[in-house]
Each structure stands twice: as C-alpha cells, then as structure tokens.
A and B are shown apart, each in its own frame.
Chain A
Amino acid sequence: MSRDRFERALLKVLKPLVILFLFVITAFPFYYMVMLSFRDIQELILEPGSLWPKAFTLDTYVNVLDRQGFLIFMRNSAIVAVASVAVTLLISIPGAYAVARLRFFGRRQVHFLFLAVYLFPAIVLAIPLFVLFTMLGLRGSLVGLILVYIAQTVPVTVYMLRNYFETVPQSVEEAAAIDGCTRLSTIWRVVLPLSKPALMATGLYAFMIAWNEFLFALLFLVERRESWTVSLGLSQLAGSIEIPTTVLMAGSVVLTLPIVIVFFAGERLLTEGLTAGAEKG
C-alpha cells in the first residue's frame, strides 16, 4: 500500500475518533452538570458513577433560587449586564463613527490606546480601583461595577464597530446629507440600521463580559450579599458544606444557561449580511 493510501485510510479512521473525543470532552461535562442539577444529593453520594438520575427532582432549583437567593443574584446580574450593554453601545457608537469617518486630532493614536486597554491585565487595575472604591464608599454598589465593565469593554467595542462602519458605503451617507440629515441623524437613520449585525455582536460581547466577570465582582461586592451577582454567589456558596452540591449544580445551570442562549441566538444573527444591496435603486 502506498504511503498516500495508508495515510488516507488512517485519517479516515482517526478523524471521526478525534471528533468524537472533542465532542465528549466538551459536551459530557455540561451533560453532567444538568444531570446533577435534577438529582438528590443522597443519590449522588450513594452512586457517584451513575449517569442517569433514578428520580428527577426540581427541589434543587427551588432551593437555589429561593432559599440561597439566586433570584436576587440573577436580578443583580441582569441589571449589571443590561446597563453595561446599553451604556457601552451609547458611548461606543459615536466613538466608533468618529474613528471610522471623521478626521480629527489624535485619530491615529486612538488605536494604540484601544489595543493597550484590551491587553491590559485586570489584576493590576484591580488594586487602585479597590482602594478608590473603598475610599469613596462605592464598594457594594452595582454602579461602580458597571463603570468598570464599561471601561473594559468600550475600547474593544469601538474597535469592532469601527471596522463595520467602514464597510457602510460613504455614498449612502452622502445621499442622506443631501436629503437634509444632520450628522447625528445620519448615524441614527442610516448607519445604525445598516449595522445591526455589528451592533448585535458588540452588545453580545459587552453582555458576556458583564455576566461572566468574576474578579471585580469579588473585590467590590463580596461583603454585601444582597448585591452579589450570580457568578459571585455561586463562587461564595461553593465553599460551604451545608449546601448540597446538586443544589449548587442547579445554580451553575442557572448561571450558564442565559449566556449560552444569548450566545447562540446572537451568533445566527451575526451571519446575516445587511449591507447587501443598500446602494441599489
């Protein structure tokens, strides 16, 4: 058998195995998470190796949402995430438009700033912000946390949006200007409707950062339980012995599910091109 045929035959066997392996190492842990979240802790301890619950229970969810306060944590996380997305978009849309279209002093240097913020280690920033928020009495407030999230996402979202705004044909904007649009109304009526996929992507990014973030939530909120985000809540309760693991698994599902849904819902929208044909007619 020639080397070519041998390699092809080998790859034909190997490839499905690799794909199966990748699927198992990524899907199985999450299957395990969901499966445990419907089980009673007694069952888990008696049969740690079983892969299917004998009896399904929803008590774990009732317990984690109500008794452990995850409903409140979810409300906090939602407030933080939605506010971060809204303000991030509000700030980065004009910023990205300026970088994409307008010639102003320092426009070229702005890129460097964005890159620096993107790569900048959060742990270095954590120290002065922790001290500052302690001095200002802002620890325990969600507003401070939202501010930090916005500052961390805005440079990146400006960059993402700018790339997209540059693909909007300038002639469409010029047509709007001739029709009597001011600069702001051009952005509002022409550029934004054409940029929906990019706005979705940007919003998604800001949402994921705010919902998943852990370090700053830990530093700023840990002393006030009623302000905990879901991430912080789970990490703090994970250490306690009184709360059964299966109840906390229900908490993990509650924490993971929204972000997975938002991500896959958004991913499909991203692939839809909207600029096609904008210049025709």
Chain B
Amino acid sequence: MSRARTLREQEGRAGLALISPTLIITLVVVVLPLLWAIMLAFQDVRLINIRQAGLFGNYTLENFAYVMAEPGFWSALVNTLVYTVAGTALSIVIGLVTALALRDRFRLRTLVRASILIPYVAPVVAVAFLWETMLNPQYGIVNSWLDEPIAFLTQARGTFLGMEVPVALLTVIAFEAWRYFPFAFLFILARIQALPAELDEAAVVDGATPTQRFRYVILPQLWRIIALLSVLRFVFTFTKFDDVYLLTGGGAGTEVVSVRVYNFLTARDDIGASAAQAIVLAVALVVFLVLYLRFFGGGEREQG
C-alpha cells in the first residue's frame, strides 16, 4: 500500500528527474573516461592489445618510470611551466592596462572594445594560421619590416641585444598573451565598473595623483579578481594543447607536456605512456595550485 507522496517528496523526485540527463552525460563522457584514463596509465596497453587489457589486467608502474626517464619529458615540463606562468602573467597585466585605458567613455570606444575581443572570440586554428603567415620568414608581413628575417616559430635560439633568447618559446608566449588578454580585460573591466565611485572621488579630494589612486584605491579592490584570473588562466594554459601544437607542432624548444601526450597517443600508439604523462601533468597542476594557494591565499587573509 503506498501512501500519497508529500509535496516535498514529489519535489525531490522531480528535481532528480530533471537533473538526471545532465548527470548521466557527465558521468558517461567525463567521469568514467577519467577513471579509465587512470587505469590505462598503470597498464601496458597499445591500440593493438587494448581488448586484452581488462579491469583486472596487470597493473604496473612501468609507464611512469618509462616516461620520466625519456629524454625530453622534464624539459617539456619546464617549458610548460615557463609558458604557463609567462602567458598567464602577461595576459593579466595587458588585460589590466586595457581595462584601465577603456574605463572611461570616449568616441569609438565600442569599436575598440569590439576589436579587442576578436582575438579571444576567433577560432584558434584561424588565428594560429594567421600568426604563422604573418611571421613567415619568406613572405610574412612582420619580416618585411625587419632588416633581417627571423624564423620566429622554427628557431629555438637567437640573440637579441647580445643576449641568447628562446625565440620560438617567446613567440608562443606572446601568442598566448595576445589571445587571452581580452579574457582578463572582460573580467577586470566588469569589476572596475562595479567599484563604488565615492572612494576614488574621495582620493581626488584628498589630493591623490592618478598613480597613487591606482596603487592605493583601485588596485587593492582588484586583487581578488586578479587572483581568480590567475588560477583560471593557469589551469587552462597548463594543459593547453591547441596553441602550441598549431603554431610550432612542439618543435624548436616549445614542446609542452600536452603535445607529448598527443604524440605518444597517435604517433607512437603507446596509450599507457600517454596516459601516464597526462596523469603526471594533472598531478603537477594540482601541486602548483596548492603551492599557489599556500602563498597567495594566506597573504590575502592577512590583508583582511
């Protein structure tokens, strides 16, 4: 005998019913594959023998030992870190400058704002191809401005003002900053426009100069959004594949771990080693995030 359900019970059932499609697709396409990826990292599997590797197959640490001993893995991890930190920092700094410059209305602001958003909105394949063409040593427009053509994307090292610099890596970082500063700009501008005007006005009355107002009034109110942006951009850039793969294919000293993961998966057909590297990448990401939160999360609390 079933009693009539209470409204509250009905609500609970309706809620589960309505959310279930979301949960099912996330479970099937994200959560289960993730667990499987972890299992694959501990098994010796290739596409050929994948059917023999079952749930209770032979688990081993060999993949991890193998990929970490491979030449190029550690340098790829260092590249990933340099690329991520520099790309994140540059995109946020330029985004901040842009937000400050576009804060007040001026003629053509809508046009400039629209133009600034395009690098972020445009497909990565199109902009990567555009950069490749512009930087091409034979017919690229940038090289037509220089006295001596520079192979920006295929040259690992070059000299600039007497210093040796990693040319291709710097180019890839510049691309990252160019493509993602609009993202930081949007976040920071929204925050700046929501700031109460009274504080800034009071500072003007007190005789603060523009740089003092920025340093002591505006910037302290932006730290939270900058911290959030740093985490977001760090997470996205650290595991990014498209940009480096499309620009250099991982050549000329720009190989990042995600490109190695792809190459092991497709060119070498070594699923286990590929999964192991992806797991190492994910773990490294978590470690860096924890370190970051230790350093900066604590500092923020002290400021109140």
Given A3-B209, A123-B258, are A107 and B15 neighbors across the interface (CB < 8 Å)? yes
Contact with A121, one of B33, B125, B136, B281 (Cβ below 8 angstroms): B281
A73 to chain B, nearest CB (A): 11
Is A198 engaged at the interface, CB distance under 8 Å to the other chain? no
Contact with A119, one of B127, B138, B235 (Cβ below 8 angstroms): B235
Task: Render B91-114 as a binary contact track against A, CB cut-off 8 A, 1 for contact.
Answer: 000000110011000100000101
Task: Render B1-38 as a binary contact track against A, CB cut-off 8 A, 1 for contact.
Answer: 00000001001111111110111011011100110110
Chain B residues with CB below 8 A from A238, complex form? 129, 132
B168 to chain A, nearest CB (A): 17
CB pair B11 A117 closer than 8 Å = no
Nearest-neighbor residue (CB-CB) of B12 within chain A: A104
CB pair B18 A95 closer than 8 Å = yes
Chain B residues with CB below 8 A from A29, complex form? 119, 127, 130-131, 134
B119 to chain A, nearest CB (A): 6
CB pair A91 B22 closer than 8 Å = yes
B205 to chain A, nearest CB (A): 12
Instruction: Give residues of chain B (229-255) contacting chain A, Cβ–Cβ below 8 Å.
Output: 232, 235, 238-239, 241-242, 246
Chain B residues with CB below 8 A from A7, complex form? 209-211
Nearest-neighbor residue (CB-CB) of A254 within chain B: B126
B38 to chain A, nearest CB (A): 9
CB pair A259 B123 closer than 8 Å = yes
Chain B residues within 8 Å of A, Cβ to Cβ: 8, 11-19, 21-23, 25-26, 28-30, 33-34, 36-37, 40, 47, 50-51, 97-98, 101-102, 106, 112, 114-119, 121-134, 136, 138-141, 143-145, 178, 182, 207, 209-211, 232, 235, 238-239, 241-242, 246, 258, 261-262, 265-266, 271, 274-275, 278-279, 281-282, 285
How many cross-chain pairs have Cβ atoms below 8 Å apart between A and B? 243
Sampled A-B contacts (24; CB under 8 Å): A4-B207, A8-B209, A22-B115, A45-B139, A90-B21, A92-B22, A98-B16, A99-B19, A104-B11, A113-B26, A119-B235, A121-B278, A122-B241, A124-B279, A124-B282, A126-B262, A127-B275, A127-B278, A128-B36, A131-B40, A158-B22, A214-B246, A235-B246, A238-B132
Nearest-neighbor residue (CB-CB) of B210 within chain A: A7
CB pair B242 A215 closer than 8 Å = yes
**B interface: dominant SS:** helix
Chain A residues with CB below 8 A from B97, complex form? 18
Nearest-neighbor residue (CB-CB) of A98 within chain B: B18
CB pair A135 B144 closer than 8 Å = no
CB pair A104 B25 closer than 8 Å = no
Chain B residues with CB below 8 A from A45, complex form? 138-139
Is A54 engaged at the interface, CB distance under 8 Å to the other chain? no
CB pair A260 B211 closer than 8 Å = no
Nearest-neighbor residue (CB-CB) of A248 within chain B: B129
Task: Render A131-172 as a binary contact track against B, CB cut-off 8 A, 1 for contact.
Answer: 110110000000000011011101100100000000000000
Nearest-neighbor residue (CB-CB) of B246 within chain A: A235
Chain A residues with CB below 8 A from B265, complex form? 126-127, 130, 219
- Tell me which of A30-38, A64-72, A189-197, A270-278 binds B: A30-38
